[in-house]
Amino acid sequence: MVREVGDVVLARRDFGTSYHLSVVVDDAAQGITVVTRGEDLAEATPIHVLLQSLLGLPTPTYHHHRLVRDETGRRLAKREDAKAIRRFREEGAMPQDIRRMVGL
């Protein structure tokens, strides 16, 4: 697995902990058993599984869905203030509509 992952920065003096270390510890602390993310984060999964193993933390089940995009083709992401699922539901989207958006 080390060859798949390569060098990973876990912390820096000027940055604190990395996303990888933070998300692994946070998921374990919250008892997360299923992680669903966009396919753009699939490459991070081997890093997270390795960290979980090294830290003696449980490894959740991972599902990577195709990216959800708006009507212009722009991907929806929290960091870009995308709508939450709750907002789609408030606008009339049914559960099957949400599942279709993520490729299920």
pLDDT, tens digit, for every residue of 89-101? Answer: 888 989 898 888 7
CA 19 to CA 44: how far, in whole Å?
10
Buried b (16+ CB within 10 A) or exposed e, 74-95: eebeeeeeeeeeeebeeeeeee
Q: pLDDT of 16-67, one tens digit each?
A: 778 899 999 999 999 999 998 888 889 899 999 999 999 999 999 999 988 8
CA 73 to CA 51: how far, in whole Å?
34
The structural domains of the chain, ordered by start, are 1-65 (3.40.50.620), 67-104 (no CATH)
